């Protein structure tokens, strides 16, 4: 779908900091952003409270205006503006959900470890075994695949950041990640037999 004149004009006005343009932008696209957040959460089987949705939405809006609208300035007009915003919103939302899940699990792990240490230090071997299991699984992948999985899932880097860090094209990160996931899934199925 091509970029509509109205969207181009609204975007241009926002980038020029014309009075009222950002409010108009927010009014026009806030519903889309909420929809994408809820859809991503549903697709990942994550339950979000209204406050969580508001927080993620605020983070998305901050990223849109950050660095003098850098994200919006990168829009090339090769698709519709709503399509571009959907992709940006989804990426930020996924990253936020992963970050929140990791923080929650780390917080739980810290609390659990404190209780375990008070009761019996020998039980600490379980989290270490889990980390060792992850390493064993990653050893089943090629070096490049394992590194992409580590950077994406453990470091929460996006495709561009991974491509830059590994010196590979950004558009090759997705296929590498898909292949690695397939191999890990097949290995897990083998072990469960």
- The domains of the chain are located at 5-96, 121-192
* Fold of the 5-96 domain: Rna Polymerase Sigma Factor; Chain: A (1.10.1740)
Per-residue pLDDT band for 132 (boundaries 50, 70, 90) equals: low
When the pLDDT of each residue in the chain is averaged and rounded to a whole number, the result is: 79
CATH class of 121-192: mainly alpha
Per-residue pLDDT band for 193 (boundaries 50, 70, 90) equals: low
- Specify the pLDDT at position 188: 67
At residue 49, φ and ψ (nearest 5 deg) are: -80, 170
**Long-range contacts made by residues 62-67, C-beta under 8 angstroms, separation at least 24?**
63/88, 63/92, 64/88, 65/22
pLDDT tops 50 at residue 124: no
pLDDT tops 90 at residue 25: yes
**Each residue of 182-193: b (16+ CB within 10 Å) or e?**
ebbeeeeeeeee
pLDDT tops 60 at residue 112: no
Cα 156 to Cα 84: distance, rounded to the nearest angstrom: 21
Cβ contact 125:169 at 8 Å: no
pLDDT tops 90 at residue 156: no
- Specify the pLDDT at position 37: 93
């Amino acid at each position: 779908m091509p970029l509509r004149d109205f969207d181009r004009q609204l975007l241009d006005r926002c980038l020029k900091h014309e009075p009222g343009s950002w409010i108009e932008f927010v009014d026009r696209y806030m519903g889309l952003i909420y929809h994408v957040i809820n859809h991503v959460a549903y697709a990942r089987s994550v339950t979000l409270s209204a406050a969580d949705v508001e927080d993620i939405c605020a983070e998305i809006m901050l990223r849109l205006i950050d660095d003098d609208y850098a994200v919006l300035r990168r829009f090339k007009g090769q698709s519709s503006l709503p399509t571009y915003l959907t992709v940006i919103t989804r990426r930020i939302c996924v990253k936020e959900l992963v970050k929140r899940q990791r923080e929650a699990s780390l917080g739980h792990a810290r609390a659990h470890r404190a209780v375990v240490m008070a009761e019996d230090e020998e039980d600490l071997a379980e989290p270490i075994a889990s980390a060792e299991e992850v390493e064993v699984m990653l050893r089943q992948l090629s070096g490049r695949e394992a590194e992409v999985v580590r950077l994406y899932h453990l470091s929460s880097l996006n495709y561009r950041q991974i491509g830059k860090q590994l010196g590979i094209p950004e558009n090759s990160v997705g296929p590498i990640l898909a292949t690695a996931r397939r191999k890990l899934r097949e290995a897990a199925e083998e072990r469960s037999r």
